[in-house]
Amino acid sequence: MAWLRRNRGLAQRPLIVSCVSAAEFLEGCADSDEGMKFICRYIPQGMGFQHAAKCAELQRRARKSGKRYGENDAWQMAFAERAQASIVGRDRKAFLHLGARYEQFDRVPRFS
């Protein structure tokens, strides 16, 4: 949470949260109400058909090179590409290929 709090106020770097990110975040929270209060401090973003098309494109490209992304990972990458944003996450292996567009976040908050 320290990373989120530290970066939340940077005007040149607004923190947007996809609905997929919110679902993954809330899954890891012991108290979903507190988790929802926390995650709603950031800019929520939905996903639509343009994201779906980008997700499909990414999966087709990956399949041609002999791999496939996890479903949520592909949606996250599609969301980030459409928003011209970086991904902050805990799964370095899934996003390592993004290089500087991926930032490691190691802790899932536990609210009590």
pLDDT (tens digit per residue) in 12-70: 666 788 999 889 889 988 998 998 988 888 888 899 999 999 999 999 999 999 988 99
Q: What is the pLDDT of residue 8?
A: 64
Mean pLDDT of 104-111: 58
Cα 13 from Cα 35, distance rounded (Å): 22
CA distance 21 to 28: 11
The distance from CA 95 to its chain's CA centroid, rounded to whole angstroms, is: 10
pLDDT of residue 49: 96
pLDDT of residue 87 exceeding 60: yes
Amino acid at 49: F
Query: Which residue reads 């993004």 in tokens?
Result: 98
Q: According to the model, what pLDDT value does residue 112 have? A: 41
Give all domains of the chain, ordered by start, each with its CATH number: 2-104 (3.40.50.1010)
